[in-house]
Structure 1
Amino acid sequence: MKLLQRLNIDKYLLMLIGAVVVASLLPVRGAYAEVFSLATKLAIALLFFLHGARLSPRTVLKGMTHWRLHLAVFASTFVLFPILGLLVGLLAPTLLPPALAMGILFLCVLPSTIQSSIAFTSIAGGNVPAAICSASASNILGMFITPLLVGLLLSAQAGGLSLEALGAILLQLLAPFLLGQALQRWIGGWMARHGKLLGLVDRGAILMVVYLAFSEAMVAGLWAQLSAAALVVMVVVDMALLAAVLAVTTWASRWLGFSREDEITIVFCGSKKSLSSGVPMANVLFSSQQVGSVILPLMLFHQIQLFVCAVLARRYAQMKKPPRQ
């Protein structure tokens, strides 16, 4: 532990890397994968219940009415990202195979994540109520906006919208949060005194999502479908996209005069792309032969955003701490 402190290595980042290594060597599969997937969903539901129980209804209402923040997040998710995706597409013939280039553009029109956006916002000390509202609205609106953007930018046939993903959002995320809100009057004080519990659930839920997502990639054998050169180029493109959006959202938040807490929310909610929404959408919008290649850039981006944002969230949190006397 002292060595890690001297080297300034983030312990949570090491835990994320450990989850990827374990998933690579021992991916969960079959019936065990179904059980672990259920456990992950329960952990995420618990996370939202605890957030609902900790936040007062007045605070949540204030987060819902923060329209300038939500507009900034939506602009990053559904305007900035697609523009960057189109710019990448101009270079795609010399960089990536057509299927992977399509996957990059599909990644750019997806909604934001919910659980990791809120978890990282909480870890960093941002505006959690606004993050909950913004990320949830992004996913709900994404059910409609993403297929329209896919049809506009990729000329794909959007064979209808799936209500299953929308139902999962309402059942897994919104319902536990509302239950926590209903019980906040009685358990809110206890939650305020045990803030470490929420932090453990935040980090634990993300670790479970990382392990499950990487296990699914290993079991599906998607990595074997690519050459090493194409994989490296795709990782670089994903990293460049994330870096560009993080830079723009940080600069724009400060230029527009948002508070530090709101800046954190905009940065984390506006830079994420949802794997849990993207995969079922890809299954609806693309043929079965295309789905594997289309979601591969998203799966890589999902891992990259978790690692980068874990470090960024920890840095924001450290900046908030008062200096030692």
Structure 2
Amino acid sequence: MKWKVDWFLTGMFVAVALAWFFPAPGARGGWLYPELLTKAGVALIFYLHGVALSFAAMRAGAMNWRVHLLVQGTAFGIFPLIGLAIFKGLPEAWLTPDLRLGFFYLCALPSTVSSSVAMTAAARGNVPVAVFNATLSSVLGVVLTPLWVGLILESGSGAAPSFPLGEVILDLVKWLVVPLVAGQLSRPWLGHWAKEHKKVIQLADRGTILMLVYTSFCDSVVAGVWTGRGATTLILSTLGSIALFSVVFFIVGLICTAMKLTMEDRIAAQFCGSKKSLATGVPMAQLIFEGNPALGVILLPIMIYHPLQLIITAMLAGRWGRREDPAPVLAATPQPAN
């Protein structure tokens, strides 16, 4: 059997290497303007999916309430409860308070945007469901993430965080909802083009993911996260992130089996439910933990979890995308009466 190189997975390692050796351009304030570049890339993804997805498909995705309940319940229910167990249960000898807070913050974040949709599409899952849940998770996260973190901070210090809900919601509407609606409105003119150029849309999806990986690592390298706290903190964060992803992915898989979801719905649920957004997490953290000198340590778990989840789901998407569709069930030919 001939081994085929996965350019997308190879591109991830290249993006990490570029960030390690050339972090300045992709870091916050760099000449690539990653803040704008990332938002523009996400807007492009949602615009193209708005063009490619028919209104009927969007409606089908919106009405699949069982999968939506599973994804959002995982992102803002199961995940934070696991994070709460880590924050309250693990002794300080295992994880420092700042690192435990970082893991809880990771668990309280919403799901990713473009990568959830792109991975679901690559795995031939239910893209309309992924689009709907990625958007819904981002909107809900604006409120639920600071509420979860505020609950923890209040229980520990009596000071709940303040958060500019209006500004963030407006930003989400501007970069997510408006492009999606614009894509839907463009369907009469561009719908046929999108159908004939699916590979272009897939390339835009995956290119955006590689850009997110690069800029994510650039920020962490420039901030000195990888070297400033020692190898032990890095190893514990990596092992904890792997364990957290594995546990949640396994739990969601069990629930999907119990709910008897189709393979397409299962892919969307597991990919959307297990992911956490670094693009949302970093600006939120700067507001929620403003002035905290340990901000780099608090962000370390999500900085590790984000590229880790992309690598794992990319491998799964490649495998599931090559699966064979089940053979259609043919009705028995009626036999003539004797």
In structure 2, relative to structure 1, the CA distance for the partners of 1:177 and 1:30 (3 Å cut) is: closer
Separation in 2, partners of 1:169, 1:190: 27
Aligned equivalent of 2:171: 168
**What is the deviation of 1:62?**
1.4
* SS of residue paired to 2:90: helix
Separation in 2, partners of 1:307, 1:321: 25
Separation in 2, partners of 1:164, 1:309: 32
Q: How does 1:150-299 map to 2 (within 5 A)?
A: 150-155=149-154, 157-288=160-291, 289-299=293-303
* SS of residue paired to 1:126: coil
**What is the deviation of 1:229?**
1.4
Report which stretch shifted further, 133-142 or 85-94. Answer: 85-94
Do structure 1's residue 13 and structure 2's residue 9 form an aligned pair? Answer: yes
**What is the deviation of 1:88?**
2.4
* SS of residue paired to 2:110: coil
1:170-213 Cα offsets, whole Å, 9 max, x none, are: 11121111111001122111211111111101110100111111
In structure 2, relative to structure 1, the CA distance for the partners of 1:95 and 1:245 (3 Å cut) is: same
1:302 corresponds to which of 302, 306, 323: 306
Q: How does 1:105-124 map to 2 (within 5 A)?
A: 105-124=104-123
* SS of residue paired to 1:113: coil
RMSD: 2.0
1:245-294 Cα offsets, whole Å, 9 max, x none, are: 11111221122011111101100110011112111221222232232221
Gaps of 5+ in 1: none
Report which stretch shifted further, 180-189 or 313-322. Answer: 313-322
Separation in 2, partners of 1:314, 1:167: 35
Separation in 2, partners of 1:101, 1:36: 28
* SS of residue paired to 2:212: helix
Separation in 2, partners of 1:37, 1:149: 26
Separation in 2, partners of 1:16, 1:234: 20
**TM-score, normalised via structure 2 length:** 0.89
Aligned equivalent of 2:331: none
- Identity percentage of aligned residues: 37
**What is the deviation of 1:215?**
0.8
**What is the deviation of 1:96?**
1.5
Separation in 2, partners of 1:88, 1:234: 12
**What is the deviation of 1:162?**
3.6
One-letter amino acid of the counterpart of residue 66, structure 1? N
Q: How does 1:53-64 map to 2 (within 5 A)?
A: 53-64=51-62
In structure 2, relative to structure 1, the CA distance for the partners of 1:38 and 1:151 (3 Å cut) is: closer
Report which stretch shifted further, 42-51 or 83-92. Answer: 83-92
In structure 2, relative to structure 1, the CA distance for the partners of 1:153 and 1:31 (3 Å cut) is: closer
In structure 2, relative to structure 1, the CA distance for the partners of 1:320 and 1:52 (3 Å cut) is: farther
In structure 2, relative to structure 1, the CA distance for the partners of 1:92 and 1:206 (3 Å cut) is: farther
Report which stretch shifted further, 305-314 or 32-41. Answer: 32-41
Instruction: Name which one, 1 or 2, has greater alpha-carbon Rg.
Output: 2
* SS of residue paired to 1:95: coil
Contact 1:165 1:280 in 2 (8 A): no
Q: Larger helix proportion, structure 1 or 2?
A: 1
One-letter amino acid of the counterpart of residue 9, structure 2? L
**What is the deviation of 1:314?**
1.0
Separation in 2, partners of 1:33, 1:322: 49
Gaps of 5+ in 2: 328-338
**TM-score, normalised via structure 1 length:** 0.92
